[in-house]
Chains A and B, each alone.
Chain A
């Protein structure tokens, strides 16, 4: 049996070193952007088509104590993936047998519906290639028995890779340990509302996920849920719209095969 793989982000061990950000871009041959100053240590304000892994930095006073929180943000590889639900192009977003939600760019029509469908606001449309990009959980590395690039490089064991079941167990155990050490609100974030995510978080303040840049109650927009549910017929109608979009895309940008290089 092929097990579902997952990442565990233990935010209590994150030092904001940003190695995962660079490892992701380096491995995936994404161009680096020269940033501009924004009164913060955070690299970019948000994810981008060429930047799939962001450490969010935020400062909070919690119980009168100064906290500088750092947490990794990327595709959550949801069990009930809003992007897949929303996507009108067959085979553009697939779930690999190991649970990785992967974009297949030759099938992507650049309609951007997946962006609307994502409760975590992750996919990004490239204006250059007119295709949507996000973390692949390094499906190429995983298929070769390697850890995802971000996980391998993480110096502090903040990131762990493995089977979802094992990681869920580890995460709960770690949270329990933290609670025993007096952090009453420590807990696990497992994408409530989307059937669980294949990226799990251990949070010191699990009661305030928004302080880490995580939505408190992520939900797939009802419009998207309807689309592939009771209103499937409507979806089909829109699907033809999608095909139309693909055609327009073809005319404006040219044949797909030529784009692979442009991505890099």
Chain B
């Protein structure tokens, strides 16, 4: 998501599930929707059935998506950038890109400062000592008025287009084959299908999931995919886009509400150097980089002030910066992402921990380190539907048997644990946001069982109880707590409808706002999340709508539920049209310019602005999408780096093999292995039979796939004398798992740099708590993270395999 935000302006699926029917080519890579999103996959099958769309599957495993594809290419885990870079090279070399599109809608024509370059694995500005980049040469050449210089002919040697061509010259089909392990012929066959959508009358989509996000170079990887789609003119177009398939019902909504370093609505969390609201706004309100850039984030002051007004109500006034100092400020270089704060917990500097419906012992990398971290806590509160490995971590030695024999006995663990029973989805109302950004309201059907309580009541009671203690006893800095608004009709269990209205926002008179265009920076509007403004206007709850109409025939369903932003179904839809506002493919554009205004989908543009008035990517200061993205840490163009643990040194530059900026921890439990001891590449993944670590409590999934197992290529099994069903042990530098081998021809051995590389597949879903049990696969995974997104590297780490 960090990548899509950097490239297009918003970290979100560009199109949506129902739109996939409009595609001519569907590239599935870094995902396996037939298994993990079967119902979303219906649109893929429908595109194939109706318009004979081609499905291309590129994956280490011949999985259930591959089984119904038109073209399958095997690849080595962690080499996606090489493959996608190869596709960029292929499109450029064979002139299959959409030239008019990239001139109009991307920064291909922007000139980059002199001194920018790439050599031996590093971009210009590398500081070997500090292991950081000085990014000053990665900037656009300025015209002296704050705008970037451009060359519309794309011929200037320092324009982004020429620099990109040069950067990917090395990514020939043969080079790709040598890195990824497929044959050049297989690569070319896939490339021909994928790049066939560079024509204005074709569109292609990319569907990806955690197979792309779980790498130490994930953000760069997804940027490569976004670049490819821009080159092919596939962004903003029905049947196009870069579509992230999220894995949890409201992972999108939870992110929208501000996780990690964000406030709600992707406003940044203040840093210590933002010593006042004005300073904060100055630092977070970008300036346009082109004269025609709408630069929508210039409205940051309105969004931020309205949020502060929602949070602090009558305590928020101009004279106190609307309560700005009630918010926490993180240090300039603080990193509060998963790997970092669990590392701090492991080192003993975190006392208390609350987990709402998450199971970090199961789903975080390096389980032994996670268990150790929780044992360092004074107390932990877990709110759940079922008991989890996290709640019961103190019993891991007993429940986890051989895997944690060196872990502490319960008697030695001083962590006090509260496990609170929560209502499940059917027992609560409220809205989930799906991958397509649709906010869908649900209703409660039954009361929670026994003493279980809805989460809103648990949070409210806890919050009010703590507040009561501060009111009674005083204590450290009570103000942020006491000034936080909690004016609900029933403060002990706020109605979610009331909360949803607060999130939508209202004016001083209490009138619900119609959209974020009405937000003000003077304290006269309050809004809990500006991107959701419009979800509950005076007219009522838009998220509960069930309208069946599809006036454009493109599957937009504008009256069903509500999608952010502004009920827009396809993001960047202005980019589906040319400079004059005519659709590249007149049959396939979700908005049309009728000479006065744009009709169709909610335009991602000013509704009555002429096609020439603004760039199509209104959230970016450039006004156009970025092929060259200087805000990504490892470089403005993605480069192939090996995973942190790799069976071969990087064939492109052996000295700079893996991502030089990856977040790698160095503690005693953070070990990395080498190919000498751990010769095989491992990947972890979900099966269609289960959902994450939840369904091990269910009979149904226990029938469909009761057992943990390890998928072993037939050739390797033969070498090791392993037959299907034989018990095997998989070991990494962190830990081990044991289970029966599923010997298969669906994971092919690959040739990389002349060496035979075997990959081993390990499904997740099991653990030491549940009706069906098995080892936690994260016993094996490394605590190595992408530096931009903080996501761990679950795809492509090294293991050994032995028969037990």
Contacts and interface: CB of A to CB of B under 8 A. Distances in A.
A68 B67 contact: yes
B707 A15 contact: no
Interface stretch (A31-39, A161-169, A250-258): A31-39
A127 B46 CA distance: 43
Nearest to B66: A68
27 contacts: A12-B68, A15-B64, A15-B67, A15-B688, A16-B688, A17-B34, A17-B38, A18-B689, A32-B699, A32-B700, A33-B703, A34-B702, A34-B771, A34-B772, A35-B702, A35-B707, A36-B707, A37-B706, A37-B707, A37-B742, A41-B687, A41-B705, A43-B703, A43-B705, A68-B746, A69-B67, A156-B42
B49 A37 contact: no
B586 interface: no
- Lowest 4 A-B CB distances belong to which pairs? A39-B724, A32-B699, A17-B38, A68-B67
A111 to B, nearest CB: 29
Interface string A30-72: 0111111111110110000000000000010000001111100
Nearest to A69: B67
Contacts of A186: none
A37 B700 contact: no
B38 A66 contact: no
A60 to B, nearest CB: 11
A218 B740 CA distance: 37
A19 B67 CA distance: 17
A17 B35 contact: yes
Interface string B676-717: 000000000001110000000001101111110100000000
A87 B465 CA distance: 70
A73 to B, nearest CB: 16
Interface in B28-49: 34-35, 38-39, 41-42, 45-46, 49
Given A21-B704, A32-B703, A157-B45, A40 B38 contact: no
A66 B745 contact: yes
A12 B41 CA distance: 14
Nearest to B688: A17
A13 B702 CA distance: 25
Nearest to B34: A15
Contacts of A44: 703
Given A15-B34, A66-B72, 13 more contacts: A12-B68, A15-B41, A16-B688, A17-B35, A19-B38, A21-B704, A31-B699, A34-B703, A35-B702, A36-B707, A38-B725, A43-B703, A68-B746
Interface in B12-59: 34-35, 38-39, 41-42, 45-46, 49, 52
B688 A34 contact: no
A157 to B, nearest CB: 7
A156 B35 CA distance: 12
Contact of A25 (B45, B65, B700, B746): B700
Contacts of A157: 42, 45-46, 49
A176 to B, nearest CB: 14
Contacts of A158: 45
A241 interface: no
Contacts of A68: 62, 64, 66-67, 746
A40 B742 contact: yes
B45 A156 contact: yes
Interface residues of B, number: 39
A18 B688 contact: yes
A37 B38 contact: no
Contacts of B38: 15, 17, 19, 155-156
A89 interface: no
Interface of B: 34-35, 38-39, 41-42, 45-46, 49, 52, 62, 64-68, 72, 687-689, 699-700, 702-707, 709, 724-725, 740-743, 745-746, 771-772
B745 A59 contact: yes
A158 B49 CA distance: 11
Given A22-B700, A68-B746, A156 B706 contact: no
Interface string A66-90: 1111100000000000000000000
A34 B34 contact: no
A121 B627 CA distance: 59
Nearest to A55: B704
Nearest to A39: B724
Contacts of B687: 41
A170 to B, nearest CB: 12
A13 B49 contact: yes
A181 interface: yes
A13 B38 CA distance: 12
A31 B771 CA distance: 15
Contacts of B742: 37, 39-40
Contacts of B741: 39
Nearest to B741: A39
A26 interface: yes
Contacts of B772: 34
Contacts of A67: 67
Contacts of A35: 702-707
A155 B703 contact: no
Contact of B702 (A14, A26, A32, A40): A32
A34 to B, nearest CB: 5
Contacts of B706: 34-37
B725 A181 contact: no
A12 B52 CA distance: 13
Contacts of B740: 37, 39
Given A18-B688, A19-B38, A39-B724, A13 B45 contact: yes
A43 B707 CA distance: 11
Nearest to A68: B67
A155 B746 CA distance: 24
A206 to B, nearest CB: 18
Contact of B704 (A22, A31, A156): A22
Nearest to A14: B68
Interface string A175-208: 0000001000000000000000000000000000
Contacts of A36: 706-707
Contacts of B42: 155-157
A41 B35 CA distance: 12
Q: Max chain B CB contacts within 10 Å: which of A13, A33, A39, A59?
A: A39
A70 B38 CA distance: 15
A18 B704 contact: yes
Nearest to A154: B42
A4 to B, nearest CB: 25
B704 A26 contact: no
A34 B699 CA distance: 7
A181 B42 CA distance: 21
B704 A43 contact: yes
Nearest to A21: B704
B743 A39 contact: yes
Contacts of B746: 59, 66, 68
A17 to B, nearest CB: 4
Nearest to A70: B67
Nearest to B707: A37
Contacts of B689: 18, 43
Nearest to A37: B707
Contacts of A13: 45, 49, 68
Nearest to B67: A68
